[in-house]
Amino acid sequence: MASLPSIEFVAQDAPAKGVVVVFSGKDASLPAATSEAIRSLVTRAATIGKFKGKLLATLDLVAPADVDADRLLIVGTHSDKELADEDWLKLGGVIAAQTKGAAAVTVRCDRTGGAVSADETAMMAAGASLRAYDFDLYKTKSSRKNGEDEPTIASTITFSVADVPAAKEAYTVQEAIAAGTMLARDLVNEPANVLGPVEFAERIAALSQQGVDVEILGESELRALKMDALLGVAQGSPRPPRLAIMRWNGGPEDEAPIAFVGKGVVFDTGGISIKPAGSMDEMKGDMGGAAAVVGVMRALAGRAARVNAIGIVGLVENSVDGNAQRPGDIVTAMSGTTIEVLNTDAEGRLVLADALWYCQDRFKPKFMVNLATLTGAIVVALGNHHAGLFSNNDELSDRLLAAGIGTGEKVWRLPLAPEYDKMIEGKFADIKNIGGGRAAGAITAAQFLQRFVNDVPWAHLDVAGTAMGSPANEYNQSWASGFGVRLLDRLVSDHYQAS
């Protein structure tokens, strides 16, 4: 895999080398400590290059002879609005992109109109790493971007800061969140021949190194639990299903946990209701919800969050063979609800039905948030820029909306209502796994899930448009985005952490 830059923090008076990054404010204004040599060079170049210090704009200059650096990269930080957390990630991403290949980079964390805080510095460092992420595991020398046998040797990005210990401490938090995000990206980018349910569960088991307790349930255990909705999806694949349960106990012992639940369909052919060939390859990412759950557990453990959190993912392959589930089959979920499977391609809700029921039944959580690449309909409604949010709880919903704005992993709430619930009433069983054709497809899927939450405060995030295939940005160039990790981590840090 392409290696990540190594990140260092030094005091502001330490000598700089390589590429020196200086932040510019409104109208190319520079921090007070900027030398005269740099100041006069930037003033002239800014006029010629029409550089006004606008957020994320850059000015790339050869350093003047009397400055101890090779290049100067001036990066704009001016905005009429206060900078959001995501803006700092973007700044880090822009710095990484503009200094690619440089052996050494020094970022002067100082700007006009206010210092750069330890948290902001740490977010830039995380943004630089996230930008450098490149899933090139399966590319050999000739097709690698740098044409080299070995992945790029990372440069060192050094942040010169007012308070070194504070920046280092803030970075341990941001580094953990970035590691969780990149873990989620890896899982989604991996092809399904490499990452079946068993292999996915093995990757999850490795989280024990971070102090996460991991339990993996196999087929016979799922059968004993009567998870026939999940098992019905898995039965068309020679690769057996798994249910993975992760526990991070960072909070008070007697406190009820919060819970995250994920759809982990390692590949979705559609089953007997088979999908058309075009873009079917993208269904290797149909475990994006599960990947985000694993990623957020990695983040919480990595930053030793003071919270008790459960992560549960249902891992199956939705495939086709002589034993595959048929349209019209009726299965009984763990909850006892009977389900008519009218379309085997509406499989995610069947997997989640049992995972959600199991979660609330065993753990009695304060709330459950599930993430799933659940419907094409949500992509039609919201494209790649918001995940669909459905919830039975206004407080949880508002908190997710706010966390979305804070992190840039935005969500948009859609309704649940008895009228939509009626659309999934079954003819031969309690409910059916599809609604009324194309109408309200994302909502009827959410109504289905609600049947299995037993009135626990719950939110469903439909990430079909955001977990993968979203346009590249300053801090993500990869097909898989890792969407959901930063959002849920933020939900925890804003509201559910013991102080």
Span from 69-77, 140-148, 294-302, 368-376 in contact with ligand BES (CB under 6 A): 368-376
Alpha carbons 439 and 423: distance in angstroms, whole number:
10
Residues 211 and 301: beta-carbon distance below 8 Å: yes
The catalytic residue among 100, 275, 306, 366 is 275
Minimum CB–partner distance for residue 312 and ligand BES (Å): 19
CB of 270 to Zn ion, least distance (A): 8
Phi first, then psi: what are they for 468, rounded to 5°?
-150, 160
Q: Out of 218, 250, 327, 376, name the contact with ligand BES by CB under 6 A.
A: 376
**Applying CB under 5 A, which part among 168-176, 217-225, 234-242, 342-350 lies near Zn ion?**
342-350
Question: Among residues 87 and 354, whose Cβ is nearest to Zn ion?
Answer: 354
Q: Which of 123/445 has CB closer to ligand BES?
A: 445
| Pick 320 or 379: Cβ nearer ligand BES | 379
Interface pick for ligand BES out of 58, 160, 325, 375 (rule CB under 6 A): 375
Q: Does residue 286 interact with Zn ion by CB under 5 A? A: yes
Output the residue with the shortest Cβ distance to Mn ion.
Answer: 345
SS3 track for 258-323: EEEEEEEEEEECCCCCCCCCCCHHHHHHCCHHHHHHHHHHHHHHHCCCCCEEEEEEEEEEECCCCC
Contacts to Mn ion from residues 322-381, by CB under 5 A: 345, 347
**Partner whose binding site includes residue 434, from Zn ion, Mn ion, ligand BES, none (CB under 5 to 8 Å by kind):** ligand BES
235 SS3 class: coil
By beta-carbon proximity to ligand BES, the closer residue of 269 and 337 is: 269
* Rg (alpha carbons) of the chain, rounded to whole number: 24
Q: Is residue 291 at the binding interface for ligand BES, with CB under 6 A as the rule? A: no
Residue corresponding to tokens 């002067």: 108
- What are the Cα distances from residue 465, in Å, to 240, 404, 469? 27, 15, 7
Catalytically annotated residue among 111, 185, 298, 349: 349
Residue nearest Zn ion (C-beta atom): 268
Which of 180, 197, 348, 435 is close enough to bind Zn ion by CB under 5 A? 348
Kindly write out the interface string for residues 444-473 of this chain, putting x where it contacts ligand BES by CB under 6 A and - elsewhere. Answer: --------------------x---------
Which is nearer to Zn ion, 246 or 350 (by Cβ)?
A: 350
Coil, helix or strand at residue 89: helix
The interface region with ligand BES, picked from 116-124, 137-145, 308-316, 342-350 by CB under 6 A, is 342-350
Contacts with ligand BES: how many residues (CB under 6 A)?
16
In the complex with Zn ion, the residue whose CB is nearer, 250 or 376, is 376
**How far is Cα 338 from Cα 330, in angstroms, rounded to an integer?**
7
349 is catalytic: yes
Report the Cα–Cα distance between both ends of the chain, in Å, rounded. Answer: 37
Beta carbons of 204 and 294 less than 8 angstroms apart: yes
Burial class from Cβ neighbours inside 10 Å (0-12, 13-18, 19+) for residue 250 reads: middle
Indicate if 226 belongs to the active site.
no
268 binds Zn ion (CB under 5 A): yes
Binds 8, which of Mn ion, Zn ion, ligand BES, none (CB < 5 to 8 A, cut-off by type)? none
Q: Minimal distance in Å, beta carbon 243 to ligand BES?
A: 18
Please, which of residues 10-69 interact with Zn ion by CB under 5 A? none
Using CB under 6 A as the binding rule, whether residue 346 contacts ligand BES is answered as yes
The interface with ligand BES within residues 412-451 (CB under 6 A) comprises 434, 441
446 binds, among ligand BES, Zn ion, Mn ion, none (CB under 5 to 8 A by kind): none
Among 8, 87, 120, 268, binds Mn ion (CB under 5 A): 268
| Sign of the four-CA dihedral 440, 445, 448, 450 | negative
Token pair of 388 as six digits: 């669909």
Q: Which residue's CB is nearer to ligand BES, number 299 or number 434?
A: 434
DSSP β-ladder status, 104-108 and 156-161: parallel
User: What values do phi and psi take at 213, rounded to 5?
Assistant: -80, 130
Q: Which is nearer to ligand BES, 25 or 441 (CB)?
A: 441
Instruction: Report which secondary-structure segment, H or E, holds 38.
Output: helix 36-49
Contact between 62 and 37 (Cβ < 8 Å): no
The pair of structure tokens assigned to 358 is 């199991």
DSSP type of residue 354: H
Strand partners, 90: none
Nearer to ligand BES, 379 or 402 (CB): 379
As measured in angstroms, the least distance from the Cβ of 44 to Zn ion is: 57
Q: What is the spatial distance between Cα 458 and Cα 260, in angstroms, rounded to a whole number?
A: 10
List the beta bridge partners of residue 106. 20, 158
Q: Contact with ligand BES (CB under 6 A): which of 251, 348, 404, 482?
A: 348
b vs e for 298-323, b when ≥16 Cβ sit within 10 Å of the residue's Cβ? bbbbbbebbbbbbbbbbbbbbbbeee
Continuous segment of H or E residues that includes residue 71: strand 71-76
- Asked if 373 is part of the footprint of ligand BES (rule: CB under 6 A), the reply reads yes
Q: Which of 286, 317, 421, 474 binds ligand BES (CB under 6 A)?
A: 286
| Footprint of Zn ion (CB under 5 A) | 265, 268, 286, 348
Instruction: Please identify every residue annotated as catalytic.
Output: 275, 349
| Footprint of Mn ion (CB under 5 A) | 268, 345, 347
| Footprint of ligand BES (CB under 6 A) | 268, 286, 343, 345-348, 373-377, 379, 434, 441, 464
